[in-house]
Amino acid sequence: MRGLFLFMGAHALLCQVILMRDLLVVLYGHEICLGMLFSAWFLGIFGGASLGGRWARRIRAPADSFMYLLVVSFLLGPALLLLARLVRTWITTLPGVPVALLPTLAVAFAVMTPQGAIVGALFPLGCQALLHGGEREETSIGRIYVMEALGSLTAGLVLTFILLPRFNGLSILLGAGFLGTAAVAAGRKLLLRKSPFVLALLALAGGLSLPLGGWDRLQELSNLWRWRAAHPGMELVAWGDSPYQHVELGRIEDQYSLFGDGHLLATFPDPFGDAFPVHLLMAQRPRPSRILILGGGPSSLLATLLKYPISRLVLVTLDPLPFHLSRPYLPSEIRKALRDPRLSLHFTDGRYWVASAQEGPFDAVILQVPDPATALWNRYHTVEFYGALLRILSPDGILLSTVTGSVNYVGKEVGVYLGGIYRSLRKVFASVEVIPGERTFLLAAVRPGRLQLAPKALSRLYRTEGIPDPAFRSQAFFYWIQIDRIHFWKKALASAQGPVNHDVRPTAYLRYLQLLDLFTSARFHKSSLETLLRLPFEVLLVGVGLLWAGMLLLSRSRPGRWVPVTAIAVIGFVAMGQEILCLYLYQALRGYLYSRLGIIVALFMAGLSVGGWWGTRWTISHPQRVSRLLLLLEVSLAALCLGLPFGWAPLFLEGQANLALSWTVEAGVALWMALAGFGTGAAFPLACELMHREGYDLPGVAGSMDAADHLGAAAGSLLTGTLLVPVFGLSKASLWMALLLIACCSLLLFTRLDLPRKTR
């Protein structure tokens, strides 16, 4: 049975990570979407554990039922993945535009909740199966908790380092499911002495379909379904998965578009769209000679820049897969540009490259990154990143960036969004200019007076010193640059309300989602975001007081039940909140979240398994000190939360700025997640023991505690992702979690639960 518990935990993590990765592509996901996916998963576990705890009491053969339900879980995972790839058939939105809140929430519950419900129901059912097999009551819950966590830990490591670099998500789920089915068939034969014929036949059929190409064909068809729903009228030419993103190459007639996780990366050939920014930059005096491009892919921008007599062009982008996929379809001029000796390609994270740059100084930096629709792209629009660019620019250096904007309309949403980015630039650069348009150009210079925007002067310089370009005429400067409009926009953006954009308070991506609502008329989404953005932090402090009062009333009625349940719910909330905070900060500094999601979860699970084992041993060796240790764990987790504003964030940000300290980010994340997991894992068996002492039967305790744990985790993921971080920032979010834990600690101080076990 213990081997099956490992399979249960491993398969749960595989499903969670792979389903979430695919849904982030389908929904053009952002961090609010990520919080909803986590929340739907944990709410499913809450419902399954609640019902499973009641169901397990009535089952005469819990081991047999556990095995069959586990097989259902193996089969359901791939089916839900196929459903995820079909959901865009029923959701209409513009390509590259994130889906509104209500459809996102509906999709999250439709795809994530069913699998989570089975995972939740398996836990109390497995505890009952252990009891029937002769396991001691004191250790049964802790044992299955530890085995499940160890399975998740193993799956996280194998998924990150072995499976994802070599196999697609559907093949991983199918392979794990059929391998698990074979293990269940063996378990029925060896443990229960029952016929495994049906399960063995199912596992054999799945195994035989692999060499016959059934899995690959299903993967191709499902990817094609997803593409046609998201990009109607565009032909899918090539696709692939990298450790960083899902990349797709589409074509309409003779023009190709590259997408990464649904976001547009590059379009080629596009000599008309890329001509103006290149000639605007190269018409500045002195003319830039050493140029750095951050982000993007193979495009006409490279070919146009290299027609000028520049000395050095450096392109830094994270993922080489877009170049590999598009190389057979590139026009000759872009292929020639990629072979130019002046061009050097670096496939690494842009922020990390800037922090560790050995080249430079550069005369110009071109940001070819998407709008801050996610925390990943938001990190290229923060004060901290602009400060890093300033260090590698020459005294005459220029930064050129583009974001979504408007030609004439300066409403609240446009003004606040663009104003936040504009004022973030003003915090760092001496001179900042804005050229309004559907793609608004932002130019920043190291010294004042460096930027030339007079259309007449630019037109003259282009005619006399520019390169002949059939895609561009000098009169275009008069069309693009209208001085009166520029002055109007600069005044409007400088006075727009709202905070500037920082790594630790990523407000720009929430403002960008609000701007999209203006264009797509998603009124519910717009009003919801507006309500969130207006909330003062004092509302959260009042919320802690109300939660404390509610917890106190419940604890007075039945302290032996509600105090442990409340403690686990709060710890689950904080644990998941800390994981979300870690993902935010790690992605802001490293940008590797797509490839590191499995390992970050695995680190948490490692701490969870060690903590669960230690907490189980403590309940046996120190039965009269259980509540005191639970109190100590909550205080320790509160200290961990306070460590973010006063320790983790400053340490990580210093490590990002100083290459010699860059190891602190990796080591700090590992320690942070391991400590959060250890505290959560150790608390679970302690709280279960406190409730069990009141006479509640083991399946009821397991179901109630597992449900409370995941209900808290669901609330923590949803509130942290949608409210705490984007509205209040990482520091205040972690401070609020610490206050919540301290409020919960007071309940343990007011009650005495270290009592002998009752019988019922």
State percent of the chain over pLDDT 90.
20
Q: Which token pair is 660?
A: 């010699």
Rounded Cα gap, residues 367 and 421, in angstroms? 13
Domain boundaries, the chain: 269-518
Average pLDDT over residues 548-554: 74
Average pLDDT over residues 138-155: 80
pLDDT band at 509 (very low <50, low <70, confident <90, very high): confident
The top-scoring range by mean pLDDT among 210-224, 354-368, 741-755 is 354-368
Q: DSSP character for 726? A: I
pLDDT at 456: 92
Contact assessment for residue 236 and residue 248, using Cβ atoms and an 8 Å cutoff: yes
The top-scoring range by mean pLDDT among 234-238, 463-467, 555-559 is 234-238
pLDDT at 470: 84
Average pLDDT over residues 695-703: 77
Least confident of 24-33, 563-572, 635-644: 24-33
pLDDT at 590: 64
Q: Look at residue 132 and tell me whether its pLDDT is greater than 50.
A: yes
Count the residues in the chain: 760
- Greatest extent of the chain over all pairs of C-alpha atoms, in Å: 95
pLDDT at 620: 81
Least confident of 53-57, 419-423, 492-496, 605-609: 53-57
pLDDT at 524: 44
- Rounded to a whole number of angstroms, the distance between the first and last alpha carbons of the chain is 28
Q: What is the pLDDT of residues 373-413, one digit of tens each?
A: 777 788 899 998 999 899 999 999 999 999 888 877 677 77
pLDDT at 558: 65
Average pLDDT over residues 649-654: 62
Rounded Cα gap, residues 151 and 167, in angstroms? 20
pLDDT at 60: 76
Q: What is the pLDDT of residues 265-285, one digit of tens each?
A: 888 888 788 889 999 999 998
Q: What is the radius of gyration, based on Cα positions, of the chain?
A: 28
Q: Look at residue 291 and tell me whether its pLDDT is greater than 90.
A: yes
Q: Which of 331 and 225 is assigned the larger pLDDT?
A: 331
pLDDT band at 348 (very low <50, low <70, confident <90, very high): confident
Q: Look at residue 663 and tell me whether its pLDDT is greater than 50.
A: yes
Mean pLDDT of the residues in the chain: 81
Q: What is the DSSP string of 217-248?
A: HHHHHHHHHHHHHHSTT-EEEEEEE-SS-EEE
Q: Which of 404 and 721 is assigned the larger pLDDT?
A: 404
Rounded Cα gap, residues 115 and 45, in angstroms? 8
Q: Look at residue 431 and tell me whether its pLDDT is greater than 90.
A: yes
Contact assessment for residue 111 and residue 26, using Cβ atoms and an 8 Å cutoff: no
Q: Look at residue 661 and tell me whether its pLDDT is greater than 60.
A: no
Q: What is the pLDDT of residues 455-496, one digit of tens each?
A: 999 999 888 888 888 888 888 888 888 888 888 888 888 887
Rounded Cα gap, residues 306 and 303, in angstroms? 5
Q: Which of 694 and 481 is assigned the larger pLDDT?
A: 481
Minimal CA–CA distance to 579: which of 460, 676, 488, 649?
A: 676
Q: Look at residue 363 and tell me whether its pLDDT is greater than 80.
A: yes
pLDDT at 550: 76
Rounded Cα gap, residues 265 and 263, in angstroms? 6
Q: Which of 192 and 687 is assigned the larger pLDDT?
A: 687
Least confident of 68-77, 135-144, 215-224, 304-313: 135-144
Average pLDDT over residues 176-180: 84
Task: Provide the H-helix boundaries in 231-366.
Answer: 271-282, 300-305, 321-326, 332-339, 350-355
The CATH homologous superfamily to which domain 269-518 belongs is Vaccinia Virus protein VP39 (3.40.50.150)
Q: Look at residue 367 and tell me whether its pLDDT is greater than 90.
A: yes
pLDDT at 532: 64
Q: Which token pair is 489?
A: 């926009």
pLDDT at 427: 93
Q: What is the pLDDT of residues 55-112, one digit of tens each?
A: 777 777 888 888 889 889 998 999 999 888 888 777 766 655 667 677 888 888 999 9
In order of 105, 222, 525, the CA distances from 95 in angstroms are: 19, 18, 18
pLDDT band at 207 (very low <50, low <70, confident <90, very high): low
pLDDT at 759: 45
Q: Which of 192 and 598 is assigned the larger pLDDT?
A: 192
